[in-house]
Amino acid sequence: MPKGFRTFISFSIILVLSGFRNVAPLIRPIPKSNLVDGALDYNVSTTSIDFSNVMIPFTGNNYVGFKEALAFKESQGKYHSVNTLGYLGKYQFGKNTLAFFGQFNTQCFMQDAALQEKIFYHNTARNKWILRRDIKRYVGLKINDIAITESGILAAAHLAGAGNVKKYLRSWGDLNFSDSYGTDIEDYLSKFSGFNLAEVVARQKVQFQ
């Protein structure tokens, strides 16, 4: 092998090894401050809300957290859920409510997740308008030792209808309502209290397309 070629090979090997030595210091151990019980800390909240001994992931105290917590209670968040009474979808709407929003094809409704989300928002916005005076009058008070909040009122309206929630509030808890499974207004007033629903705009007339 020519002397010059051997020199070139030796020089190339030195360069390669030197390159590896320069790269190695860039690979550092993960700082302990970024570890939680041996796992990377992604700053994801593990807080949960206990609904009848079922741990529900807490996704915030805003509208998203509210709707996801309510959906989990209604159907475990499943868009294709149908209960024994025929209530449909992630939020368990009855056929009369769907008809109000112009939805008569339940099969299409069940297959359209975006539509279910849209109807839930507009239904909540309409209930907020219907109950606007009661929200103003009773939020911050206690009825039967339950703190009354806007989100609790709107969750109860989803369960029982705005009219029954009015009766409950205006009777100071004497006129309660229970569904066929035994869940009542007070359950929802308590379990869904404290969410910030400022982004839900109260609307009398729903412009739904």
Tell me the pLDDT of the chain (209 aa) as tens digits. Answer: 555 545 555 545 444 444 444 433 333 333 333 223 332 222 222 233 343 444 455 568 999 999 999 999 999 999 999 999 999 999 999 999 999 999 999 999 999 999 999 999 999 999 999 999 999 999 999 999 999 999 999 999 999 999 999 999 999 999 999 999 999 999 999 999 999 999 999 999 877 66
Distance CA 150, CA 8 (A): 79
Asked if the structure places residue 16 within a domain, the reply is no
Asked if the structure places residue 106 within a domain, the reply is yes
Q: What is the count of structural domains for the chain?
A: 1
Asked if the structure places residue 115 within a domain, the reply is yes
Question: What pLDDT was estimated at residue 60?
Answer: 81
Kindly give the residue spans of alpha helices, DSSP state H, lying in 139-176: 150-160, 162-170
Asked if the structure places residue 144 within a domain, the reply is yes
Do residues 153 and 163 lie in contact, with contact meaning Cβ atoms separated by under 8 Å?
no
Asked if the structure places residue 110 within a domain, the reply is yes
- Long-range Cβ contacts of 183-190 (<8 Å, 24+ apart): 183/159, 184/160, 185/156, 185/159, 185/160, 186/144, 186/146, 187/159, 188/152, 188/155, 188/156, 188/158, 188/159, 188/160, 189/143, 189/146, 189/148, 189/149, 189/152, 189/153, 189/155, 189/156, 190/146, 190/152
Asked if the structure places residue 37 within a domain, the reply is no
Residue closest to 68 by CA, chosen among 93, 43, 90, 51: 90
Return the amino acid letter for 12.
S
Domain of residue 146: give its range: 59-191
Return the amino acid letter for 149.
T
Distance CA 183, CA 180 (A): 8
Asked if the structure places residue 102 within a domain, the reply is yes
Asked if the structure places residue 40 within a domain, the reply is no
What pTM did the predictor assign? Answer: 0.72
Residue closest to 156 by CA, chosen among 54, 204, 208, 146: 146
What token pair was written down for 72?
């989990």
